[in-house]
Amino acid sequence: METINTYTQTSAQTRAESQHRVLRNTYGLLALSMVPTVLGAFIGTQMKFAFFAGSPFISFILFMGIAFGFMWGIERNKNSSIGVFLLLGFTFFMGLMLSRILQVAIGFSNGGTLIAMAAGGTGAIFFSLAAVASTTKRDFSNIGKFLFAGVILLLVAIVANIFFQIPALALAISAIAIVIFSGYILYDINRIVHGGETNYISATLSVYLSIYNIFVSLLHLLMALGGQRD
């Protein structure tokens, strides 16, 4: 009986150490991924990068195709260093795509403040939810299906608004996106803590996408509600 108890304790300790290592590596790679994102955003802003600006629908389809291509490659190579390089390449691409909304924000007299507020708000959301997800004993795995359904509905609404261009719907999409991707931060970090995610590259990709979408959505709301023209 003592041998069984010792084995159980050792197994539990090993599992806890493994989960802690995945979480630590996820945070480390997440921090690193912000470097190419900022670099891509800076280059895109300086070059006034526009991605099929004349055709929003084609731009959206092309963007989704490239993004899913990157994500497929990252998942396929998540157990090797290639996955890390693909992830960093993906975050650079996402930084380029971020430059468009940053160019619009800079056009406001208080654009710098709006960007700083969006970044600060995103950071506050992430650190708060990550702290809850990593310390609570509650398992949030049951919200995964609801969040996925929410993302599908969100994509449908985004495509619809490309054609209808309804300002109120755009604001609603941004607000709902903040809620959904905040939920994903809670869900993804909690999965790592409970051993549901054992690969730090996959985990980083998921958390990065949530942070990115929260930032973009928050900045859009701030520009719509508090943007000041000269």
* Other beta carbons within 10 Å of 121: 17
Query: 66-122, pLDDT tens digit by residue?
Result: 999 999 999 999 999 999 999 999 999 999 999 989 999 998 888 899 999 999 999
Query: 175-184, pLDDT tens digit by residue?
Result: 999 999 999 9
Which tokens go with 217? Answer: 């959505």
Residue 48's pLDDT is 82
Residue 118's pLDDT is 96
Residue 169's pLDDT is 93
Residue 27's pLDDT is 95
SS3 94: helix
Which tokens go with 206? Answer: 């998921």
Where along the chain do its domains lie?
16-226
More confident residue, 91 or 13: 91
The DSSP H or E segment spanning 18 is helix 2-46
User: What mean pLDDT is predicted for residues 131-145?
Assistant: 88
User: What mean pLDDT is predicted for residues 28-55?
Assistant: 87
Residue 9's pLDDT is 53
CA-to-CA dists, residue 2 to 6, 9, 42, 194, angstroms: 6, 11, 60, 26
Write down the pTM of the prediction: 0.90
* Cα–Cα dist 42/67, whole Å: 20
* Cα–Cα dist 215/118, whole Å: 6
* Distant-in-sequence, close-in-space partners of 167: CB < 8 Å, separation ≥ 6: 224
